[in-house]
C-alpha cells in the first residue's frame, strides 16, 4: 500500500474518444452521425453521453469507479442497436492497465422514458483503473 497520494487519469477523456472512434469505424445504420460527449444534456441526436459516476473506493493505486452512459436515437430500433453496441464496446474495452484494468457493464442497458421525443437507453459501467503514486 502506498503512503503517497495517487493521481488518476480522466476516465471521460480516455473513453470518449475511444468510443467515438470505435463507433465511427462501424458501418451500421445505428452508428451513423453519433456524437459521443460528456454533456449532461444534449440536443444533438443520435448521441451517447458518458459521465463519471460515484466510485467504490481506492486500494493502493487501484480505483473502482463508475461511468453513467446514456444512448439517444430518434429511431427506436436504432436506439436499441446502438445501446447494445455501446455495451459491447465497454464489455470488450482494452483493459491494458493504461489506465483501465477492467470494465464491465453492471446495469442495463434499459430503456428510459423521457420527454425528448427520442429513444433513450441507460447503463452503468464499473471501471477499475490504475493510478500513479505521487512522489
**Residue of 2, 15, 19 whose CA lies nearest to 131:** 2
Under CATH, which architecture does the 6-133 domain have?
A: 2-Layer Sandwich (3.30)
Q: Residue 32 to residues 92, 127, 131: CA-CA distances in angstroms?
A: 21, 27, 35
Block mean pLDDT (10 aa), the chain, length 135:
67 87 93 90 84 70 81 94 93 69 86 88 86 77
Note whether 19 and 27 are within 8 A (CB).
Answer: no
Q: At what angle do helices 11-24 and 76-92 cross, to 10 degrees?
A: 120
Rounded distance between C-alpha atoms, residue 7 and residue 122, angstroms: 29
Please give the pLDDT value at position 11. Answer: 79
Strands 35-37, 47-52: pairing kind:
parallel
- Enumerate the domain spans of the chain: 6-133
Amino acid at each position: 500500500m502506498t503512503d503517497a497520494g495517487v493521481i488518476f487519469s480522466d476516465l471521460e477523456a480516455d473513453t470518449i474518444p475511444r468510443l467515438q472512434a470505435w463507433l465511427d469505424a462501424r458501418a451500421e445504420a445505428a452508428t451513423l452521425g453519433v456524437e459521443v460527449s460528456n454533456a449532461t444534456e444534449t440536443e444533438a441526436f443520435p448521441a451517447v453521453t458518458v459521465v463519471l459516476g460515484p466510485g467504490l473506493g481506492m486500494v493502493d493505486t487501484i480505483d473502482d469507479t463508475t461511468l453513467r452512459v446514456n444512448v439517444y436515437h430518434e429511431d427506436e430500433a436504432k436506439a436499441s442497436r446502438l445501446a447494445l453496441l455501446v455495451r459491447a464496446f465497454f464489455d470488450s474495452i482494452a483493459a491494458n492497465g493504461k489506465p483501465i484494468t477492467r470494465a464491465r457493464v453492471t446495469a442495463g442497458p434499459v430503456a428510459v422514458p423521457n420527454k425528448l421525443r427520442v429513444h433513450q437507453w441507460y447503463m452503468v459501467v464499473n471501471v477499475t483503473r490504475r493510478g500513479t503514486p505521487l512522489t
